[in-house]
Amino acid sequence: MHDALTRVNAVMFRRLWRGTNETVLAYSETEALAYRVREGDVDLADPFVVDPDVTLWQRGGEFLDVAGELLELPPAPGHSAFGAS
C-alpha cells in the first residue's frame, strides 16, 4: 500500500473478525498503526485515514506490540463467534 499523504509505502494486514474490521499498517518494524472499526465503517479506498468517531480501538507503535495488542482484544460488544450471521 502507498500512503499518498506521507508518501511512504506500508504493508497492510487486514481481517474481518466477528463483525469488525481489524487493520495493521506497518511502515517499518518500529512504526505501525493498528485499529479496529465495525465492518460497515471501514473505508477500503483509504485505510490510512481512520475516523475517530467510528474507531473502536487504535494504537500506534512498534509493529509487534500493536499487532499483538490487536490480536488480544476481546470481541467487540454485541459480536460473538456463536451469533447469527
Q: Compute CA distances 31 → 16, 20, 41, 55, whole Å.
A: 23, 23, 24, 20
Nearest to 21 by CA among 43, 52, 1, 42: 42
| Side-chain-side CA neighbours of residue 33 (13 Å) | 12
Q: What is the pLDDT of residue 23?
A: 93
Average pLDDT by consecutive 10-residue portion of the chain (85 residues)? 68 88 92 92 82 93 95 80 53
Q: What is the pLDDT of residue 47?
A: 82
What's the predicted TM-score (pTM) here?
0.80
Q: What is the pLDDT of residue 85?
A: 47
